[in-house]
Structure 1
Amino acid sequence: MSVNSFEVLLELVRDKISKKDTSWRCSIPAEERLLTTLRFLATGDGFQYVHYNLHVGVTTVGKIVAETCTYIWEVLSPLYMMTEPTHEKWALIAERFEDLWNFPNCYDAVDGKYIRIKGEWNCGSAYYNYKNFHTIMLQAVIDAEVNFLIDGIGALGRNNDVGVFLSSSF
């Protein structure tokens, strides 16, 4: 992530992730909270590893990551996702598919992606896929310009695209 992108994201979430200092402790600055979250998301390392690198308690890392991810979603989803689908919006998307791709009567494109995870030794086969490793599924719906409209993540890795689609709210 570039420094500019970090600064833009920080300004969007700063008010929500900032904490006040108390007489008992100095709060962790918003910059460090966002950095901790991005480090965890980018590396896929556990809280323990992030704790050693950034000198923040393990449980604190967990709380920071959960809270910051929630606020990032709250701030970015209205900007980049379809919040209120209407007939007019779907018709415009269908028109763009025909204009850009010569694909008439298409409202969206749907696909799934396996995301590799570290499976615990006793986790069973729920997250074990046909590629012989543990995964969760990300399924996304995009428009003609490849903008996300709807997404879903966390389906069991043993499922295929159709199984995830059938169990989705879409």
Structure 2
Amino acid sequence: MGREWLTRRQLHGDYDQLPQELNKEDSKGHRNFLHIYPELFEEMVERLMTILKTKDMKMRNAQEVGLKLAVTLRHLASGNYYPSLQYSFSLSKSSICRFIPLVCQAIINTYKPEVLKCPKTAEAWNNVAEQCASKWNYFNCVGALDGKHVAIKKPKGGGSLYFNYKKFHSIILMALSDAKYRFLFIDVGAEGGAGDGGTWQKCNLARAITYN
């Protein structure tokens, strides 16, 4: 008792109603909602289908790949917690907990070879530097580097390692992008309490530049 609303997802859930309307009437609204345009969303559903599609069970139908992707994108775009997402999409929190990590990994495996290409030769790095110089007037620059604190629960036995200067526990996502805002390198996992210099020195890119 009390969970019947989950059976009416197609009538009231955000995936079955709002995105479909936005797709037809307001593509910019669709982008604001999921942070991608409808055409890219459909492409992603098609490309992730073989990885994420599951079979129907006796007691319930399998969740659509489009639904899983929409929930994941909304979570990544808005930072909404699983309990909040369960009410807007009419899905149980346990289901969301299961499939969001799988969808994220599927996106990485499918798109990383295409969209995240770190230069490996001097000529490739020189091309990046030339773009920074011609587009932004930054000379001898091979990209824009910055970090982001990703909030986490305090790890067991972590002490103050992950407690950052903003007064919450986190891991650090550090990324390098080129002059056209394209990511070239990403490093995730440094303790939130680490400084910028220490985080940089420990990452693979810093070691590659130092020893090559």
Aligned match of 2:190: 155
Aligned partner of 1:29 among 32, 44, 64? 64
Change beyond 3 A, Cα 1:39–1:145 = closer
Aligned match of 1:140: 175
Q: Cα deviations across residues 84-104 of structure 1 (Å, max 9, x unaligned)?
A: 633332221122223223333
Amino acid at match of 2:165: Y
Distance 1:82 1:90 in 2: 11
Distance 2:48 2:197 in 1: 35
TM-score by length of 2: 0.66
Q: Cα deviations across residues 63-114 of structure 1 (Å, max 9, x unaligned)?
A: 2101100011122222321156333322211222232233333323322123
Change beyond 3 A, Cα 1:102–1:41 = closer
Structure 1 runs (4+) greater than 6 angstroms displaced? none
Aligned match of 2:4: none
Aligned match of 1:50: 85
CA RMSD of superposed structures (Å): 2.8
How far the C-alpha of 1:128 sits from its partner, in A, is 1.8
Change beyond 3 A, Cα 1:138–1:118 = closer
Number of residues paired by the alignment? 169
Percent identity over the alignment is 30
Aligned match of 2:47: 12
TM-score by length of 1: 0.80
Answer with 53-62 or 152-161: which moved more. Answer: 53-62
Distance 2:74 2:142 in 1: 36
Answer with 62-71 or 129-138: which moved more. Answer: 129-138
Structure 1 gaps, min length 5: none
Give the conservation status (yes or no) of the 8 Å contact 2:128–2:142: yes
Which structure features the higher share of helix residues? 2
Structure 2 gaps, min length 5: 1-29, 32-36, 206-212
Give the conservation status (yes or no) of the 8 Å contact 1:113–1:137: yes
SS of residue paired to 2:109: helix
